[in-house]
Amino acid sequence: MSKLSYISPDGLRVDGRRSNEIRRLNIKMGVSNRADGSAYYEQGNTKILVTVYGPRESVNSKSLYDRAVVKCEFSMSSFSTTERKQRQKGTDRQATEIQNLIKQAFESTVHVQLYPRSQIDIFVQVLQSDGGLKSASINACTLALIDAGISMKDFVCACNTSCIDGIPVLDLNNIEERSGGPDLLLSINPQLGGVISLNMDSKVQQDLFESVLDLGVKGCQKIFTILSDQVKRYSTELMSNQQQLQQS
């Protein structure tokens, strides 16, 4: 595999992007009628549907008297990857990892103390997977929670970065994820400026790490501008619909 060049001499990657570019985002909010909030999120060829139920009464008595509990369930459609996965509910390590990641990210960002004795359920369904699942799921969850009208301190924007052949690259796709470079997942609160989570599982020199982290922050900010644009457009649309209803 080492002979495969991930970055061409012109500085272009396998899918034609430059090293600091993210894939095209396609976002739709309010796609599900049953759920309290929902979002469809497309980042390149990664396609995710998220629905949010809640805040609602806790089903099992694990509720906390002073705040809400965030629960997350992550599932991959069996046709989402190129190899069909055997069904193994509850034992999937990757799913558990992402569930915990999302749970932690949003328990710190949602105003949980506003919803005592209740729970907020987040269901993530991956329809097609082409790398960057964790970051895409987090971004999609942010949108679905906003659609559900749940009060939050800020957005949570996530992005994965890596470095291939010494060049830091942003938003990896499936092929690039297999390159064996360090995979850094960064999620931040773009407006408050806090880091929600930072995961990296490889050894990297410190100065290189800093440039990768820098790029990650830039990527998150870029995603934030796109998401907030979309949220504003969606809410103005809702507002104008409401005004039309009132007039008629």
Partner 1 sequence: MEAFQKIHPLEFYRKFLQRSVRPDGRSLNDIRKTSISTGAITTACGSSFVKIGNTSVICGIRSEVGIPSFENTDQQTNIFVNLELGPICSNIYSSTKPSEQAMSLSSKLNSLVKRLDIPKEDFYFDQEGKVLWYLYVDIYCLDYDGNIMDASILALISSLKNVKLPRGIIENTNEYYKDTEQLRSLQINHYLFPLSFSIIEDFILSDPSNQEEQLSTSNLTITLNENFEICLLSYSGIKPISETILQESFEKLKNRIEYLKSLIDSAQEH
For the CB of residue 218, give the shortest distance to partner 1 in the complex, in Å: 29
- Which 182-211 residues touch partner 1, going by CB under 8 A? none
Using CB under 8 A as the binding rule, whether residue 58 contacts partner 1 is answered as no
Under the binding rule (CB under 8 A), the answer on residue 118 touching partner 1 is no
Taking CB under 8 A as the criterion, the residue among 43, 129, 162, 179 binding partner 1 is 129
C-beta of 194: minimal distance to partner 1 in Å?
Answer: 30
CA distance 169 to 175: 13
Q: Residue 41 or 123: which CB sits closer to partner 1?
A: 123
Check binding of 121 to partner 1 (CB under 8 A). Answer: yes
- Let me know: does 184 contact 162? Beta carbons within 8 Å: yes
Using the minimum distance from each CB to partner 1, give the nearer residue, 19 or 81: 81
Q: Which is nearer to partner 1, 35 or 156 (CB)?
A: 35
Q: Work out which of 14, 21, 53, 104 binds partner 1, going by CB under 8 A.
A: 53
The verdict on 73 binding partner 1 (CB under 8 A) reads: yes
- 81 touching partner 1, by CB under 8 A: yes
Q: Which is nearer to partner 1, 51 or 189 (CB)?
A: 51
CA 125 → CA 53, 156, 157, 241, distances in Å? 14, 19, 19, 29
* Site size toward partner 1, by CB under 8 A: 27
**Residue 243 in contact with partner 1, rule: CB under 8 A:** no
Does 123 bind partner 1 (CB under 8 A)? Our answer is yes
Q: Which is nearer to partner 1, 25 or 35 (CB)?
A: 35
Which residues of the chain form contacts with partner 1 (CB under 8 A)?
31-35, 45, 47, 49, 51, 53, 73, 75, 77-82, 84, 89, 121, 123, 125, 127-130
